[in-house]
Structure 1
Amino acid sequence: MMMQVSKSSVMAVKSYKYQAEALVKDYLLADPIVPYTAVLGGIVMCKMAYNVTHLISSLYFKGYASLTKSQRIEWNNRGMSSAHAVFITVMSLYLVFFSDLFSDRLEGLVTFRSSNISNFTLGVSVGYFISDIVMILWLYPSLGGMEYVLHHLLSIIAIIYAMLSGEGQLYTYMVLISETTTPGINLRWFLDTAGMKRSKAYMVNGIAMFVAWLVARIFLFIYLFYHIYLHYDQIEQMHIFGYVLTFLVPTILFIMNMMWFGKILKGLKKTLAKRQ
């Protein structure tokens, strides 16, 4: 009798699993609605990450309750941006370096390659940038100045175009890998807000952030420009809007990255000098 119940339970679980997989494949990841499903999913993910950050911080960080309302909002917002950064970094690294989607070994132009997974991932990122820029504008300038607004607008335009047109997704993902620096930046703010600016963790974070920024936002962009140079004949075949975005967005972001890198270097020197 117990074996029959067990078998029926297993069969029921498998049935629900197959139904869920069919739902995802036939509806949520169906070609026409992938972008819209993904954007909505990104917005929902942001809301969940914001709420989870608030819940965990209020339970396990004693100083959270003593923060001002503005500081608590920024604290939760940074938890949200860290969640997106982890997701988009993992997916970008996989699609660019480990999957065959953008491999030169395959036939066809690399600038016109896309898949349901790549489109869905970009949609989630669009949902995040929309959520974040709304918060930035709503609380302007406490969550960031005009440079953050410009960064997010460029990101939204470029990602939406790549998602809907299928053009230039490789370069979009190369730029998105730079989000790997976001958790380190947020951790630095958390430590500062928690009064741990003189701690060893703050110094280690500064060094790690310097290295990560150098690799992900300087060296990687140089490699991106080199890749564009090697595949210029393919880029020429893109729509004029995609062609302009391929050069304009990485160039503007690279200039901003260099400016921020100067500030990071200056801050690291000051921290190391204080430790000595």
Structure 2
Amino acid sequence: MLASEENTSFKSYQNQANLFVKEYLLADPLLPYTSVISGMLACKMIYELTQLIGSSHFKIYSSFSKIQRIEWNDRAVSTMHAIFITSISLYLVFCSNLFSDYQSSELITDRSSSLSTFALGVSVGYFIADLGMILWFFPSLGGYEYVIHHLFSLVAVAYSMLSGEGQLYTFMVLISETTTPGINLRWYLDVAGMKKSKAYLINGVVIFISWLVARILLFVYMFYHVYLHFDQVEQMQPFGQILVILVPLVLSIMNLVWFFKIIKGLRKTLAKRQ
């Protein structure tokens, strides 16, 4: 009897919690702000958890300088964000029907959903948190190119989240975050003194391939998609049109510059092993 009453009470609280989430936290007017706050809180939680795990399970962590420990934690945050946003982006762009040309008469540049808006909000929260870290410890966590990258990304993602415009192209650009875990792993291998290991070499090759696909070829495909649907892009707000063209263009130039550095570094690593 008592167990039955406890079970009923638990289900009642569960139903109330689900109702609160659906009607308040995930309600359309509040969704952007809820998701941004959720993203920032998630960053804080992952940072603190990484710090706890690092200090208790990795001996090398205690030998780091203060800024190295901060970067260790910060890179864990960026890795988790990259895994989250690339998974959502790949699903929405290539697997769901949200942006399919044949599933809706609505302009492809105006389509959005609760899931897409929430995912963009979480990403906005991450970019705010990470940009704050970069500026606070500047230039230890990244130079001006990182500030420019994050500012452009933040403005574009926030606009797409709030307006609902151009979300398809925003997610196409965010797929490029798939290279982030490999870049962060390379830093971890470096500080662990494993630059001469086989893992370091494999990591370099993986970064080269993923960068070529996600940050070069995918951007070419995105520009081609914009060209094919330019009549719909022209119906966006002027600021949205600028973001759809300017932000990917600036990021693609930066990606090319970084890509040549990756090629140079990979060639240097391969030469040392011959």
TM-score (normalizing by structure 1):
0.96
Tell me how far 1:14 sits from its aligned partner.
2.7
Structure 2 residue 88 is matched with structure 1 residue 91: yes
Please list, as runs of the form range in 1=range in 2, the aligned pairs for 1:26-175 lying within 5 A after superposition.
Answer: 26-105=23-102, 106-175=104-173
- How far apart in 1 are the matches of 2:202 and 2:16? 48
- CA distance, structure 2, for counterparts of residue 93 and residue 255 of structure 1: 23
Q: Report the Cα offset of residue 170 of structure 1.
A: 0.3
- Deviation of residue 44 (structure 1)? 0.4
Correspondence 1:208 to 2:199 = no
Distance 1:90 1:102 in 2: 16
- Fraction of identical pairs, as percent: 63
Q: Distance in 1 between matches of 2:92 and 2:121?
A: 15
- Post-superposition CA distance 1:11-44 (Å, at most 9, x none): 3333232222211110101111111111111110
Give a deviation string over 1:100-156, Cα, whole Å, max 9, x none: 111111221000011121111111101100101111111110100000000000011
The aligned residue for residue 196 of structure 1 is: 194
Residue 112 of structure 1 aligns to a residue whose secondary structure is: coil
Paired residue secondary structure (2:30):
helix
- Partner residue of 1:219? 217
What is the 5 A alignment of 1:12-23?
12-23=9-20
**Could you tell me how far apart the structure 2 residues matched to 1:159 and 1:41 are?**
16
SS in 2 for 1:144: coil
Q: CA deviation at 1:6?
A: 4.1
Structure 1 gaps of 5+ residues are none
Q: Which moved more, 1:95-104 or 1:134-143?
A: 95-104
4+ aligned runs moved over 3 Å, structure 1: 4-10
Letter in 2 for 1:69: K
Partner of 1:234: 232
Match of 2:269 in 1: 271
In 2, the alpha carbon distance for the partners of 1:202 and 1:181 equals 15
Cα deviation, 1:210-260, whole Å, max 9, x if unaligned, reads 111111101111110111011011001001100111100000000000000
Post-superposition offset of 1:95: 1.2
Unaligned runs of 5+ in 2: none
**In the TM superposition, what is the alpha-carbon distance from 1:5 to its structure 2 partner?**
4.0
Task: Give the distance between the partners of 1:175 and 1:15, measured in 2 at CA.
Answer: 42
How far did 1:94 drift? 1.2
Alpha-carbon distance in structure 1 between the residues aligned to 2:61 and 2:79:
18
Question: For the residues of structure 2 that align with 1:159 and 1:130, how far apart are their CA atoms?
Answer: 11
Measure the CA separation in 1 of the matches of 2:100 and 2:219: 19
Please report the TM-score for the alignment, with normalisation by the length of structure 2.
0.97
Letter in 2 for 1:237: Q
| Distance in 2 of aligned mates of 1:265 and 1:8 | 65
Could you say what secondary structure the match of 2:142 adopts?
Answer: coil
Give the C-alpha shift of residue 10 in structure 1: 3.5
Stretch moving more, 16-25 or 254-263: 16-25
Partner AA of 2:153 in structure 1: S
